[in-house]
Every structure is written in C-alpha cells, then in structure tokens.
C-alpha cells in the first residue's frame, strides 16, 4: 500500500498571496496598455495548491530519477495546438511523478486548469500566453515561479523561489535604480528588448549557460574600444585568443528578419556553450562588449596605479534584501574578490561570477556612488 503525504507545505501558504498579487497586477496593467494574448491569473488558493503538490512531487522519484517538470496554469483554449489527454487527471504528486519522464524536456509544460472538483491536468503545451503562471520543479525541494516575458526572448521572468523552508520573492522595484546594469533590469522585466540578437538578451543566455556547468568561473566584459583592461591582467596571458573569436558576435550582427527563431536558438546555444565552457578553466574568460572572445584562463591582478578594493555595495533583488556595504571577501571566495578588484580598477567593465554552489553575482561600477556594486542574481537565472 502506498502512503500519501497529505501535510501542507508551509512555504506555499506564505508566498501564495504575493504571487497572486504579482500576476493580477501585471495582467491588469497589460490589459490597460492594450496587450493581447494574455493569460489568466491564478487565485491565491490555486497558487498554494500547485506549489504544495509540486513540492511533494519534487521529493519523489520515478525509476530512480527526481522529476524535472514545468507546470503552466492555463486553459487549452489559451494556447495553440495543445496536446490534450483523453481524460482529465486530478493534480497530485503521484500524477506529476508518473508524467515527469515524458515532459522533462525544456519548453514542455504540463497544462493545469480547474473545475468544481479542483485542479486537474489536461495535457501539455509548448506555447504560452503572456504572463502565464509557470511553476518549475528544478530539483528536489527547489521550485521557481515565473512567467513568460511579453518582450524579449529566451529567459522567463522569475517571480519567486522556494527551496525547503527558504522563500525568496523577487523585488521588481530594484530595477528602478539608475545603478543597475542592463542585464539586471532586463531579467526583472524592465527595458526588455524583443529582438533575438540584442546584446543584453545574449548576455543573459551566456550567464544562464555559465551557471549551468556548475564548475564556477569568471567572465569579464570589457570595452571594445580600449585596452586599459590589460593593466589588470597578469602578462603574458596563458590563453590569449588571436584574432579575437567572433562566433557569438557574428550571430548578433545577423539580420533578425532573415533568421528564424529556431535557427537562432540552436545557433546561439552552440556559440554560447562554446564560450561559457571556457569559464570552467582556472582564471577569467574575457570578452569585449561586442561579445568577441579575447582570452581565457587569465589571472586578475591589481592595477599598478590602483589601490585595493575595500568595500562593495551588495544587493539582491528580493523582498527584504536591503543593500549592505561589505568587504568583497564576505560575498564569496577568491573569484569574487578578484572580480571586485577588476571592476574597481576598470570601471567601464562588467564582471560575472558563477560559484560552484549555484550563486551568481554581477559586479559593476556605480558612477553615482563611486564604488563597486555586487548584484546577486542567481534567483533570476534559475
């Protein structure tokens, strides 16, 4: 006899109200602005139920494997060409676990809707309406609530993360600071470009891929019109690239009107993985702001004319995540200290740091505050 856990997942109740408010607010605003192809906001009770069921499903295994699934709250009529099951399946941890092996590919979502008897599974879909509630089961005990961006391709906008008893809700207001780099504001759903080859959209894909290899690494983005960054790198470099490799850069320069989205996704994935794989090599990988690869395995050093960085302003775009002045060594290890020093000496540069434990930090220079800022953005990349 199979034992069924009927206990509630406490974090689901804590976060359900905030998530419902987020989707309701965005959908109301989108309708007022005349946007079309919009989803339906889930009720607070439905949010709580979906998170609760998904959490207990994440702790199960099917054929020895934990489930990796994506739930989407929508009716079949809100998508095109849905894959409809012959009958409705009541939403339960067991049902999700059994379906998991067949729907674990990226871009496939389990469709969830409701009737008088409660939530049920109606089938699957690969196309979602704008602002559709999506709940990803990333690993055992780790859930991420997100929605499709109406502007911008690729990465969804994350709304909240739940990991065991830890709950983080994204604070979109962080993006209103004039000190935020474009990669952060775009991930927060602000100033997003719908152009597939926009440099910021590509940089986001680089960050996602860099985090995914789980080996840790540093990526330095330097100005293309200056060689000043070389003063902060030990010479000679062990792995310089000459001439600069332009695989990603050539893709960005393509005319988006003559390249299909499928071509872009496949080509970009290959070129991005080609670059981000090098970030696993000890040292820093260096690209310019045209996305041309200049070197990898580079050793960062303090500029001869500079001083040691003593403090950075640490931020995380989550509710309750107040900025804090910290020594960079308190944020992470040697990688974080080196990245902070590099941006301190080269204020025109950007440094992306991935940790082996999944944390991801972007270091940038704030002209207003005259200091280095460390933006922890892993919650937006999951």
- Residue 127's pLDDT is 92
How many independent structural domains does the chain possess? 2
Q: Is the pLDDT assigned to residue 334 strictly greater than 80?
A: yes
Q: How far is 317 from 266, CA to CA, in rounded Å?
A: 30
Identify the CA nearest to 122 among candidates 158, 78, 159, 58.
78
- pLDDT above 70 as % of the chain: 92
Let me know if residue 216 belongs to a domain. yes
> Residue 184: which H helix or E strand, with range?
helix 182-187
Cβ proximity of 116 and 6 under 8 Å: no
The residue-averaged pLDDT of 263-290 equals 91
The residue-averaged pLDDT of 328-338 equals 93
The pLDDT confidence band at residue 156, using thresholds 50, 70 and 90, is confident
Looking at the structure, tell me whether residues 229 and 158 fall in a common domain. no
Looking at the structure, tell me whether residues 122 and 244 fall in a common domain. no
Looking at the structure, tell me whether residues 15 and 69 fall in a common domain. yes
Looking at the structure, tell me whether residues 132 and 275 fall in a common domain. no
Let me know if residue 181 belongs to a domain. no
Q: How far is 178 from 273, CA to CA, in rounded Å?
A: 31
Please count the other Cβ atoms lying within 10 Å of the Cβ belonging to residue 356: 13
Looking at the structure, tell me whether residues 47 and 112 fall in a common domain. yes
Looking at the structure, tell me whether residues 52 and 136 fall in a common domain. yes
Q: Is the pLDDT assigned to residue 133 strictly greater than 80?
A: yes
Domain with 25, as residue range(s), is 10-169
User: DSSP code of 103?
Assistant: S
Let me know if residue 354 belongs to a domain. yes
Q: How far is 42 from 15, CA to CA, in rounded Å?
A: 13
Lowest mean pLDDT among 3-12, 117-126, 297-306: 3-12
Whether this model's pTM surpasses 0.85: yes
The pLDDT confidence band at residue 173, using thresholds 50, 70 and 90, is confident
- Residue 6's pLDDT is 55
Looking at the structure, tell me whether residues 160 and 221 fall in a common domain. no
Q: How far is 99 from 109, CA to CA, in rounded Å?
A: 11
Let me know if residue 101 belongs to a domain. yes
User: DSSP code of 368?
Assistant: T
Looking at the structure, tell me whether residues 143 and 236 fall in a common domain. no
Looking at the structure, tell me whether residues 129 and 227 fall in a common domain. no
Let me know if residue 1 belongs to a domain. no
- Residue 152's pLDDT is 46
Let me know if residue 162 belongs to a domain. yes
Boundary residue ending a domain (150, 169, 188): 169
Let me know if residue 186 belongs to a domain. no
Boundary residue ending a domain (152, 169, 186): 169
The CATH number of residue 220's host domain is: 3.40.1700.10
Looking at the structure, tell me whether residues 232 and 319 fall in a common domain. yes
Boundary residue ending a domain (126, 150, 169): 169
In the chain, where do the E strands start and end?
69-73, 83-90, 109-115, 118-125, 133-139, 142-147, 157-163, 166-169, 217-222, 239-245, 284-288, 293-298, 312-315, 324-326, 350-354, 360-366, 371-376
Lowest mean pLDDT among 193-202, 232-241, 300-309, 367-376: 193-202
Let me know if residue 193 belongs to a domain. no
The pLDDT confidence band at residue 108, using thresholds 50, 70 and 90, is very high
Identify the CA nearest to 162 among candidates 143, 145, 135.
143
Looking at the structure, tell me whether residues 244 and 328 fall in a common domain. yes
The pLDDT confidence band at residue 1, using thresholds 50, 70 and 90, is very low
Looking at the structure, tell me whether residues 218 and 363 fall in a common domain. yes
Identify the CA nearest to 22 among candidates 173, 192, 196, 225.
173
User: DSSP code of 216?
Assistant: -
């Amino acid at each position: 006899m199979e034992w069924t856990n009927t206990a509630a997942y406490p974090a689901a109740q804590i976060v359900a109200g905030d998530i419902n408010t987020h989707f309701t607010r965005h959908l109301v605003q989108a309708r007022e602005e005349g946007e079309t192809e919009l989803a339906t906001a889930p009720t607070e009770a439905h949010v709580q139920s979906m998170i609760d069921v998904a959490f207990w499903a994440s702790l199960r295994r099917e054929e020895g494997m934990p489930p990796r699934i994506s739930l989407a709250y929508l009716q079949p009529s809100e998508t095109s060409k849905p894959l409809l099951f012959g009958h409705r399946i009541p939403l339960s941890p067991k049902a999700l676990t059994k379906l998991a092996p067949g729907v674990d590919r990226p871009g496939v979502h389990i469709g969830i809707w409701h009737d008088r008897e409660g939530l049920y599974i109606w089938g699957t879909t690969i196309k979602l309406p704008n602002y559709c509630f999506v709940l990803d089961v990333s690993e055992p005990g780790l859930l991420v609530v997100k929605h499709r961006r109406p502007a911008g391709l690729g990465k969804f906008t994350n709304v909240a993360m739940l990991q065991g008893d830890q709950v983080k809700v994204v604070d979109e207001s962080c993006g209103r600071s004039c000190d935020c780099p474009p990669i952060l504001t775009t991930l927060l759903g602000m100033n997003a470009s719908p152009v597939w080859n926009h440099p910021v959209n590509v940089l986001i894909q680089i960050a996602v891929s860099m985090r995914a290899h789980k080996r840790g690494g540093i990526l330095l983005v330097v100005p293309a019109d200056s060689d000043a960054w070389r003063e902060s790198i030990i010479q000679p470099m062990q792995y310089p690239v000459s001439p600069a490799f332009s695989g990603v850069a050539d893709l960005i320069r393509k005319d988006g009107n003559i390249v299909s989205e499928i071509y872009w996704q496949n080509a970009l994935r290959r070129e991005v993985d080609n670059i981000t794989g090098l970030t696993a090599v000890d040292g820093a990988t260096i690209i310019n702001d045209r996305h041309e690869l200049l070197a990898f395995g580079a050793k960062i050093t303090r500029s001869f004319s500079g001083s040691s960085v003593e403090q950075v302003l640490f931020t995380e775009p989550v509710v309750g995540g107040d900025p804090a002045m910290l020594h960079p060594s308190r944020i992470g290890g040697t990688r974080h200290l080196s990245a902070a020093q590099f941006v301190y000496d080269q204020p025109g540069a950007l440094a992306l740091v991935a940790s082996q434990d999944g944390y991801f930090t972007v270091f940038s220079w704030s002209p207003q505050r005259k200091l280095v800022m460390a933006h922890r953005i892993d919650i937006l990349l999951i």
